[in-house]
Amino acid sequence: MATPLVGEVVYELPGWTGNAVDEAGVLWKVNKETGWSAGLNPRSRRSPRPSGHGTTRSRPYGEERLITLTGVAEAPTPVAREEAKDRFTALLSGPDLEQLVVHERHMSRQAAVELNSDPRVTDLTPVVFEWQLTLAAPDPRRYALEPVSPSPTPLQQPGGGVAPPWTPPLFLPARAAGGAQTVTNPGTAPAPVLIMLKGPQVRPGVLNATTNQVLRYGLTLDDDDELVIDTDRGVAILNGTAYRGPEPGSTVTQLFELPPGISSDLQAVGEATGSGTPTMGVLFFPAWW
């Protein structure tokens, strides 16, 4: 396990740690970083207005985040230097995105990355070489390491009603609202969210009362059914295998995100049925630009 340098920002990838001494005794010093600490690089389209001043614009989105780390490595022996170069040039050689974890002075955050260009090494002495690593994060947001995941809440059960004849004045008993959770994204970027809806319930869905966005699905969940809505991927999956689309009038799934810096009041909008206990669960990672 690598030993981080005290007082430095530490960068971790599978098999490599920057600003640390690795298990082979190689010191990896980061001399320069660009891209990780940068803000949002906006992507928007503007077209000249054919019959008016200025331009029209599309909804802006963020470009991918490009991260470059440059530094030097010092090995205990010439052989250790060559072995360190081999390990470095093999980083992120697999087909999947990997997590870059950055331990900053005020918090630790992560992003899923891949190589944007080949890792580069240049010999300086028999035991020292210069290195450069250029990464691309398709999602430019930097996420907390730990998710926010309150305990699932049960949906409100249907009431039995009041049978006639009625004698005024008529007082209806108060019922506590069910299937509601208030969560806060403390970051600076909208955070995608996982919403888990368990049966039995009819027309399951969720409303963000703070943003007035709603996702609702025209199906019935039995006692053992679960619908998982993944707003990052823009999909809803029933029992882990079957994809389901939202009802007409619902928000575009990928736009159902938790705004930064404020609380979101999420409310289950399905109708509880049967004798089971339908629930709504929520999980998200706070996000920063």
Would the pTM of this model clear 0.75, i.e. be above it?
A: yes
The SS3 call for residue 278 is coil
Q: What is the distance between the alpha carbons of residues 128 and 206, in angstroms, rounded to a whole number?
A: 57
- Is the fold of 3-41+61-144 the same as that of 153-157+179-288? no
Sketch the domain layout of the chain as residue ranges: 3-41+61-144, 153-157+179-288
CATH number of 153-157+179-288: 2.60.120.860
**Assigned CATH for 3-41+61-144:** 2.40.30.200
Q: Is the torsion defined by CA of 205, 228, 151, 201 positive or negative?
A: positive
Per-residue confidence of the chain (289 residues) as pLDDT tens digits? Answer: 899 999 999 999 999 999 999 999 999 999 999 999 998 888 878 888 888 888 887 777 889 999 999 999 999 999 999 999 999 999 999 999 999 999 999 999 999 999 999 999 999 999 999 999 999 999 999 999 999 999 999 997 665 443 444 344 433 333 334 689 999 999 999 999 999 999 999 999 999 999 999 999 999 999 999 999 999 999 999 999 999 999 999 999 999 999 999 999 999 999 999 788 999 999 999 999 9
H/E stretch holding 62: strand 61-62
Dihedral of alpha carbons 141, 260, 218, 240, sign: positive
SS (H, E, C) 163-213: CCCCCCCCCCCCCCCCCEEEEEECCCCCECCEEEEECCEECCEEEECCCCE
Residues 6+ apart with CB under 8 A from 103: 4, 9, 10, 11, 12
